[in-house]
């Protein structure tokens, strides 16, 4: 499978626990994005990496959220001390390198988080 | 604040009809425009992108862009029940910037 992959696909946790999600972008895609989507809403941007550098973070990304992409390949998103309001689908997307213009983002299957 | 507005629907059309989905955006600096399809419980799937004013056709799909009116639309010809999904409009400022999504329009195609 050459698409964006995410793991796990589903996660149920209790309030206060920490969770970590992983995203593997399409091979050679150097830009990686994280979004969050709640029921009835469109995806909302969380953070963006170009290679290993985290270039932009949304104000939605509270101090409890941290994301890494240590080697410029896969990325992890960690949520500490989860709250019920964190329940959502967490989506990862990637785009290929290029000289400008093409910013098409391809999404992975998502990780659905349920906080009890 | 950058906003993308879509009618939440549902938009109901019979099989074989043309479905017309609309989207307006507030950021005049937007350069790239995308339509994604999302089935219930699944992630968004790219249908089309458009950068220039006018129409762009791909099979049964036509995207239309009018930057002066800040309006994007998606036409689906010969609608099929399998087209029943939520259609998300997304815009960006280009240059690999992030996407701002609308809430999506639910399309229902009845056999």
**Residue B55 in this model has a pLDDT that exceeds 70:** yes
Distance CA B47, CA A31 (A): 20
What are the tokens at A65? Answer: 């959220």
Q: Contacts of residue B44 in chain A, CB cutoff 8 Å?
A: 43, 91, 107
**Residue A3 in this model has a pLDDT that exceeds 80:** yes
Q: What is the mean pLDDT of residues A16-39?
A: 94
Q: Is B22 on the interface with A (CB under 8 A)?
A: no
Lowest mean pLDDT among A13-22, A94-103, B48-57, B88-97: A94-103
User: How close, in Å, is residue B34 to chain A by CA atoms?
Assistant: 8
Q: What is the mean pLDDT of residues B85-105?
A: 90
Based on its alpha-carbon atoms, the radius of gyration of chain B, rounded to whole angstroms, reads: 13
Instruction: State in Å, rounded, how far the first CA of chain A is from the last one.
Output: 33
Q: Out of B49, B94, B103, whose CB is closest to A41? A: B103
Q: Contacts of residue B23 in chain A, CB cutoff 8 Å?
A: none
Lowest mean pLDDT among A26-30, A38-42, A108-112: A26-30
3-state DSSP assignment of residue A95 = strand
3-state DSSP assignment of residue A86 = helix
- Cβ–Cβ < 8 Å for A114, A8: no
DSSP per position, chain B: ---EE-----EEEETTSPEEEEEEE--TT--EEEEEEE-TTS--EEEEEE-SSEEEEETTEEEEEETTTTEEEEEESS--GGG-EEEEEEEE-STTPPPEE---EEEEEE-
3-state DSSP assignment of residue A24 = strand
Comparing A110 with B93, which gets the higher pLDDT? Answer: A110
Q: What is the mean pLDDT of residues A48-71?
A: 91
Q: Is A69 on the interface with B (CB under 8 A)?
A: no
Distance CA A48, CA A31 (A): 7
Buried/exposed code over A68-78 (b: 16+ C-beta within 10 A; e: otherwise): ebeeebbbebe
pLDDT at position B53 = 95
* Residue (of B2, B73, B78) closest to B34 by Cα position: B73
Alpha-carbon dihedral angle through residues A77, A81, A82, A85, given to the nearest 10 degrees? -110
**Residue B2 in this model has a pLDDT that exceeds 80:** no
**Residue B110 in this model has a pLDDT that exceeds 60:** yes
Phi, psi of A5 (to 5 degrees): -120, 150
Contact A107 B100 (CB under 8 A): no
CA angle B104, B109, B111 (to 5 degrees): 165
**pLDDT interval class at A2 (50, 70, 90):** confident
Instruction: Calculate the average pLDDT of chain A.
Output: 91
């Amino acid at each position: 499978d050459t698409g964006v992959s995410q793991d796990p696909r589903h996660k149920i946790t209790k309030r206060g626990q920490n969770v970590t999600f992983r995203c593997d972008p399409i091979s050679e895609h150097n830009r990686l994005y994280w979004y969050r989507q709640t029921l009835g809403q469109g995806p909302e941007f969380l953070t963006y990496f170009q290679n290993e550098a985290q270039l932009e973070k949304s104000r939605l990304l509270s101090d409890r959220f941290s994301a890494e992409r240590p080697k410029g390949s896969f990325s992890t998103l960690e949520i500490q001390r989860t709250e019920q309001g964190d329940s959502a689908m967490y989506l990862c997307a990637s785009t290929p390198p290029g000289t400008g213009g093409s910013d098409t983002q391809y999404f992975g299957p998502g990780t659905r988080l349920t906080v009890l | 604040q950058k906003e993308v507005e879509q009618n939440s629907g549902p938009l109901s059309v019979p099989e074989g009809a043309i479905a017309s989905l609309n989207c307006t955006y507030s950021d005049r600096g937007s350069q790239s425009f995308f339509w994604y399809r999302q089935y219930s419980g699944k992630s968004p799937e790219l249908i089309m992108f458009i950068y220039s004013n006018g129409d762009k056709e791909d099979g049964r799909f036509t995207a239309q862009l009018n930057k002066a009116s800040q309006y994007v639309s998606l036409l689906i010809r010969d609608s099929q029940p399998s087209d029943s999904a939520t259609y998300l409009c997304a815009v960006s400022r280009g240059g690999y910037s992030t996407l701002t999504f609308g809430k999506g329009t639910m399309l229902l195609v009845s056999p």
